[in-house]
Structure 1
Amino acid sequence: MNFLYRTLLTFNATSLILVIFLIKDEITLNSLHEKLNILPNYASYIAYFAIPIILTFLSLFISKYLGNANISKGTITEIENANNAFLPSYLGYFFVALSVNNCDTLLFVFFILFVFTFLSQTLYFNPLFLIFGYHFYNVSTSNKAKLFIISKNQITKIDDVEFPSLKRINNFTFIDKSI
């Protein structure tokens, strides 16, 4: 289950590169079937964007089946908001999608990004989680562990923070299901 979940998270984290490319090249659903010719181009673009959103929702839904973990109150030594830390890297994906000239090159670049994101096994930053109200945190614990937590909680001070209902994505990345 964990392998499939991490694969889905990796696809969700990298799929917007495909959406941006399809929009940039004005590839629309109209060309699939003659009955779709009546659709305006923006209908295709909305459909393309909806797919990663739906898959992100699905990944949030099935996260309840992952293994359990927790971080007790008093064991957290540092918390850093990571919402904005990964945005520059993610914007780099957009610039790549805008500069790629053909579909073959895009698929090759997407495959490379997908493999490296999957194998990194440390972070599954997906800006679409922000749409669902999640935030990203780098958390350091008293036993020197550095963890990446995806949570709906907005954390402003470290004193009372605990994560009693974490779901383990891997040994460094967790999603908080306490809400």
Structure 2
Amino acid sequence: MNFLFRLFLTFNATSLILVVYLVKERCLLENILPLFSKLPDFISYTIYFMIPLVLTFLSLFFSKFLDNDSIQSDDHSAIKEVEQANNAFLPSYLGYFFVALSVPHFETLVFVFVILFVFTFLSQTLYFNPLYLVFGYQFYYITTDTNVKVFIITKRILKNPYDLSFPKLKRINNFTFIDQEV
């Protein structure tokens, strides 16, 4: 289950590159399904955007079935430092968009997408998906009292590391967790 979920998260994290390319190339749904003829172009683009949005929502739903975990200590908070990570990944994501805008052919896009997908999956350090921001999630690096840095996806605003607890963490991999507590 965890392997399939990580594949799903990787696809969600990289799928916007496909949306940007389809919009750039003016690929309309009417070319695929005549049912959509005579609709404005933005309807096609909105539907393209909604697909990764719905898949991201599903990943959030399925995350509750992952293994439970904790980074707690028995007598005190095991968290030494909290660092917001939202802005750290935006340059990388903007790079994906620029690649999608500059790729001239669909075959090239598929090749580039597969490479990005494989590297994102194999890195296994985190699964930054900017669409989580739409659902109210934030991204943080948490440093534990044993100097292990983990990536936390949560709806909570984290400021003070000394009174933090995560009783409902779900493990995505050894260094990435999603907080189920709202």
Give the TM-score normalised by structure 2: 0.96
* Structure 1 residue 106 corresponds to structure 2 residue 109: yes
1:55-66 correspondence to structure 2 within 5 Å: 55-66=55-66
Structure 2 partner of 1:151: 154
- In the TM superposition, what is the alpha-carbon distance from 1:156 to its structure 2 partner? 1.7
CA contact (8 A) 2:8 2:59 kept: yes
SS at 2:51's partner residue?
helix
In structure 2, stretches of 5+ residues that fail to align are none
Task: Indicate whether 1:76 and 2:76 are aligned.
Answer: no
Query: Hey, what does 1:45 align to over in structure 2?
Result: 45
Whole-angstrom CA distance in 2 between matches of 1:176 and 1:33: 40
Distance 1:4 1:62 in 2: 11
2:2 — aligned with what?
A: 2
- Gap regions ≥5 residues in structure 1: none
Q: Deviations over 1:55-91 (max 9, x none)?
A: 0000000101000011225211111000111001110
Q: Which amino acid aligns with 1:32?
A: I
Residue 54 of structure 1 aligns to a residue whose secondary structure is helix
| Counterpart for residue 95 of structure 2 | 92
Deviation at 1:36, TM superposition (A): 2.0
Which whole-Å deviations, capped at 9, do the CAs of 1:141-170 have from their partners, x for residues lacking one? 112211000000001221211111100000
Mapping 1:156-167, distance limit 5 Å:
156-167=159-170
**TM-score, structure 1 as length reference:** 0.98
User: Across the two proteins, how many residue pairs are aligned to each other?
Assistant: 179
Residue 29 of structure 2 corresponds to residue 29 of structure 1: yes
**What is the letter of the counterpart of residue 113 of structure 2?**
F
Runs of 4+ off more than 6 Å: none
Cα distance per residue 1:92-148 (max 9 Å; x no partner): 000000000010000000000000000000010000000000000001111221100
**Aligned-CA RMSD value:** 0.9
1:33 is displaced (CA, Å) by: 3.0
Structure 2 distance, partners of 1:139, 1:115, is 26
Q: Percent identity?
A: 61
